[in-house]
Amino acid sequence: MDEFALIRRHFAALTGAPREVVLGVGDDCALLQPPPGEQLAVTSDTLIAGRHFPDQTAPADIGWKALAVNLSDLAAMGARPLAFTLALTLPQADDAWLAAFAQGLRACAEPSGAALIGGDTTRGPLSITITAIGALPPGGALLRAGAGIGDLVCVTGTLGDAALALQQWQAGRVPADDAEHWLRARLDRPTPRHAAGLALRGLARAAIDVSDGLLGDLGHICSASGAGAELDLSALPMSEAFRRRAPAAQRAGLQLTGGDDYELCVCVPPARLDDARRACGPLPLTPVGRIVAEAGVRLRDAHGAIVEVSSHAYRHF
């Protein structure tokens, strides 16, 4: 199967196209018509086998996650997903693998409304690069640089689930019950929080998605905003599955530095917290700390004492 047959069979009709897509898959370039009066937000992520996901990961889960991590970036900016491109490097053109990969990609794309509009395929070690495009009103983006002294540091959902699942996987543990299957799904199929990102525009003052661990990603907000933060370890939200399976001594490390959560970390003025929670609907939005003037991110336990952790964030190099 050559490159063009591969594209026609698995990707040419993968998604529908919103009105902003004038021309999609099949030409030298895609054509987009930006929504009237809106800006485009563009992000790109690469996932490499053995580095960003275990080699044994199911192809449908790889397809899902490759897009989800990009939609998460759009969510952190408060951008509505429009379209994405796919650059796929494959050791071989395995038809069954490609069909499953495309199914996972489609399953993630359809709820978001994002359309596949082009890309490239080539032979080599397995890697997936997706570039995602979203739209938002001028001045409406949630930036890292907007945090103000006194803002509440809040996170959506729960933290540490994916890191615990990866730890179990690396230890050779096969999910044995509903709790462990749920944790594995949090690793393999993270939920992009684009609805929350849209809802928090105008309520949050800064945002980032938690991809490399809360401690490191919040540090990016602090650096960009010229501020610091204090986190309350006792406030970090955990799922029931995490509470049941994570050893107590490891919980803080998994929640703070494990990565792969793809929740949103947002900075909200205290007066806007109730509105922000209502805007997120059933998705929990939990205050876990506060923005302060002193640089750096400090951790406090339930008694207010400073706590040290052994690492800060996932590092790519």
Is 212 annotated among the ligand-binding residues? yes
Is 119 annotated among the ligand-binding residues? yes
Is 45 annotated among the ligand-binding residues? yes
Is 123 annotated among the ligand-binding residues? no
Is 314 annotated among the ligand-binding residues? yes
Is 209 annotated among the ligand-binding residues? yes
Is 260 annotated among the ligand-binding residues? yes
Is 261 annotated among the ligand-binding residues? no
Is 44 annotated among the ligand-binding residues? yes
Is 220 annotated among the ligand-binding residues? no
Three-class secondary structure assignment of the chain: CCHHHHHHHHCCCCCCCCCCEEECCCCCCCEECCCCCCEEEEEEEEEEECCCECCCCCHHHHHHHHHHHHHHHHHHHCCEEEEEEEEEEECCCCHHHHHHHHHHHHHHHHHHCCEEEEEEEEECCCEEEEEEEEEECCCCCCCHHHCCCCCEEEEECCCCHHHHHHHHHHCCCCCCCHHHHHHHHHHHCCCCCHHHHHHCCCCCCEEEEECCCHHHHHHHHHHHHCCEEEEEHHHCCCCHHHHHHCCHHHHHHHHHHCCCCCEEEEEECHHHHHHHHHHCCCCCEEEEEEEECCCEEEEECCCCCEECCCCCCCCCC
Is 311 annotated among the ligand-binding residues? no
Is 151 annotated among the ligand-binding residues? no
For the annotated binding site for substrate, the residues are 52, 260, 314
Annotated binding site: 28, 43-45, 52, 73, 119-120, 144, 209, 211-212, 260, 314
Binding residues for ATP: 119-120, 144, 211
